[in-house]
Structure 1
């Protein structure tokens, strides 16, 4: 199943987005609704809240007096943490029960107001944030919720900042216009990205790519996207994965590149790579059949040492290549050294970019990048390797050490 985390600040329009996704066919898990259910009279949740805040927090019918509780927690961060510590685990448990009943091809949307604050982003295939400027949100709360501007701003201040929320997003739906504009964005997201993503997951196949070797200017978002993806991958197989590193052209600030994120997953051995293949597929990164080795770059190394496993993203909205390599292997070391050499040596980056642009022009008419990638291989061996090897010796460069972790995870 495809798991979507939906969030947004108060009065951003998140509820409208959630309702439309449910109409389109998603299974909606509403955290606000669950948060009410887990503190109904007679529940352990309400008992714990009374113990923490006192019986005066109840109304005359023995139900939770929400305005009274809200007046306490929205002006006292420590009290808010106490409340969240009671309610959030209960909501996650209730949500988990709903998700477990979904089918392989379903799209499950979890509407979680405090998704960013509770650090749940890495548990979803995508995080969708509904965003609106603070001025717009304050006015909505004044107009439609009968709040004063000060109360509205206090509610906003009690949540993650707009910058924090958007930094955690794979998709930002900006809601600063009318209702129809927002709904059109939701429907485009559903049709163009969520439906094909869900189908790729159901079939266990990567997303199709029909774009040739098009170079785009360096984008500061690439590193943030890589960090989010790495966190999801690490959570997917924590017992096998030693590290996830951003490699390739998009990991080098200032270098033009194809808009594809390359990540290297370090494992103790290839048995671990095979054990976790299904977990990576479920996380959105199916294995690519036949892609089991790199082309040796230093010619003196044994080709058998360049074995790897290769996965790619099932998400049509974010191309990702996942190179699963044994920590300490030649391919693992080459990828890290090449990245660090390019980052440290402007002349090396310029040399590589010139080569890429030349080949991109040569293969501009291709619908894919296979021929372009094959044509780069001699350059990696004949030009890059001697230069980067000399740089490593001159600077004392060493790769990360995963030896102790690898020994601990070997054979798990």
Structure 2
């Protein structure tokens, strides 16, 4: 099952995207629909709202008067939080019931108006945000939904900012044009990214990228922040730390367009347990179980057993099934040589322009030789890494580096 988080500000056009995904076979769990359902006459939700805001929020027939509730609840922050505190748990419970009833291979599109405000974005393997400029949204709300301009701007101001939405968006759909254009973009997203993503999860397959160098992408840090948030949420307390590692973590360095992340765990048993939570958020397990060991392995752990150095280079690895963001997730044990070196290597490169230039020259030579797979590309670099391991630890000893 692939779960997509869909959101956008009021009047942005989220319903158009939701309807398009539904037509294409997605199972849409609509937060607005559920939010209305849980406060219908006779429900626990409506009773709680009346207790909080008074009977003036009701029509004469006992149904909820939404404009009256909005006028009260959106008048200040505390009242808005009270409203959310009542409705959000009820909506979440009903959403869980609907998802549990879906087929195991379904693509679930969770249409959540307050996805950003509720902090739910890291729970989803893919977050799609629909956006339009405020003035255009106000115009739509007045024309199609009968808002006054004052009410429209108040509702917009009470929601997440554009910057907050961009921070969580894996996909940003701009709806400043026509509805037909938005439908076309939504269809393309479904066929080119969402369906392949779902297929890869079902088949336990990685999203592949060619082992080709590309110039440093300024978007990598923001993409990585979303990945780190997603992994931290999924792993919870079982992750000692989650770090951006590898070439894309070094600003300005050409690299393969693959994000590498290290999840530090207390043991390989914990790493194995995490397989159950990583697949649902889009990271499928791969058969690789160790890194290439280095002579004279080093660690910052005080007591370090050298009786089986090869064992201390073991790990687990997952990779993203999302074709739009190839990612490797390395699960390594806290204090083991491979876990330490992954952190050291990035800091060493950042602090040493000469080492960075040396590494870039190596990457360019290897790429020019045309290695056809990522594995072959990595293996060709390994002789250089043997010396880099020694040089990096010499730098660590000189500077007093600690992870």
Hey, what does 2:305 align to over in structure 1?
Answer: none
SS of residue matched to 1:218: coil
Whole-Å Cα distance in 1 between the matches of residues 24 and 115 of structure 2? 23
Q: Distance in 2 between matches of 1:5 and 1:300?
A: 43
Alignment partner, residue 228 of structure 1:
226
TM-score w.r.t. length of structure 2 = 0.94
Deviations along 1:42-62, one digit per CA (max 9) or x if unpaired, are 111111111111122211111
Give distance in 2, aligned partners of 1:98 and 1:297.
51
Q: Distance in 2 between matches of 1:65 and 1:146?
A: 15
Structure 1 unaligned runs (5+)?
Answer: 400-412
Query: Could you say what secondary structure the match of 2:285 adopts?
Result: coil
Three-state SS of the structure 2 residue aligned to 1:276 is helix
Give the RMSD, CA atoms, in angstroms: 1.6
| TM-score, length of structure 1 as denominator length | 0.92
Distance in 2 between residues matched to 1:300 and 1:6, nearest whole Å: 47
Per-residue deviation, residues 131-158 of structure 1 (Å, max 9, x unmatched): 1122221222233233333332222111
Determine the C-alpha separation between the residues in 2 that align with 1:146 and 1:36.
Answer: 18
Offset at residue 299 of structure 1 (A): 4.3
TM-aligned CA distance change 1:300 to 1:340, over 3 Å: closer
Aligned residue pairs, count: 393
Q: How much has 1:283 moved relative to structure 2? A: 2.4
Residue 239 of structure 1: how far off its partner (Å): 4.9
- Match of 2:283, SS state, is coil
Correspondences of 1:26-175 after superposition (within 5 Å)? 26-175=26-175
Distance 2:237 2:394 in 1: 36
Q: Quick check: 1:346 aligned with 2:350?
A: no
Structure 1 contact 288–310 (Cα < 8 Å) conserved? yes
1:293 is the counterpart of 2:290:
yes
Give 3-state SS (helix, strand or coil) of 1:238's partner: helix
Name the counterpart of 1:409: none
Distance 1:59 1:300, change over 3 A: closer
Judged with a 3 Å threshold, the aligned counterparts in structure 2 of structure 1 residues 24 and 248 are, in CA distance, closer, same or farther, namely same
Residue 387, structure 1, aligned to residue 391, structure 2: yes
2:375 aligned residue: 370
CA positional deviation for 1:357: 1.7
Structure 2 gaps of 5+ residues are 299-308
Give how far 1:93 is off: 0.5
Change in Cα spacing, 1:252 to 1:298, as seen in structure 2 (3 Å) is: farther
* Within-5 A mapping of 1:152-231: 152-207=152-207, 209=208, 211-231=209-229
Q: Are 1:358 and 2:365 matched, yes or no?
A: yes
**CA distance, structure 1, for counterparts of residue 367 and residue 212 of structure 2:** 7
Structure 2 SS opposite 1:246? strand
SS at match of 1:60: coil
- Whole-angstrom distance in 1 between the partners of 2:55 and 2:180: 45
What is the CA–CA distance in structure 2 between the aligned matches of 1:35 and 1:146, rounded to whole Å? 20
Query: Are 2:342 and 1:331 equivalent residues in the alignment?
Result: no
Deviation, 1:300, is 4.9
Rounded to whole Å, the distance in 1 between the matches of 2:156 and 2:237 is 39
Question: Do the aligned partners of 1:116 and 1:168 also contact (CA within 8 Å) in 2?
Answer: yes
CA distance in 2 between partners of 1:300 and 1:274 (Å): 24
2:238 aligned partner: 240
| Structure 1 partner of 2:317 | 310
Cα displacement string for residues 314-355 of structure 1 (whole angstroms, at most 9, x for unaligned residues): 111110111111110000000000011112222222222222
- C-alpha distance in 2 between matches for 1:142 and 1:40: 26
SS at match of 1:47: helix
Aligned partner (choices 318, 322, 325) of residue 329 of structure 2: 322
Which whole-Å CA distance do the structure 2 matches of 1:41 and 1:333 have between them? 59
What is the rounded CA distance, in whole Å, between the counterparts of 1:21 and 1:107 in structure 2?
9
- Distance in 2 between the 1:139 and 1:368 partners? 52
SS in 2 for 1:398: coil
Query: Which residue of structure 2 aligns with residue 404 of structure 1?
Result: none
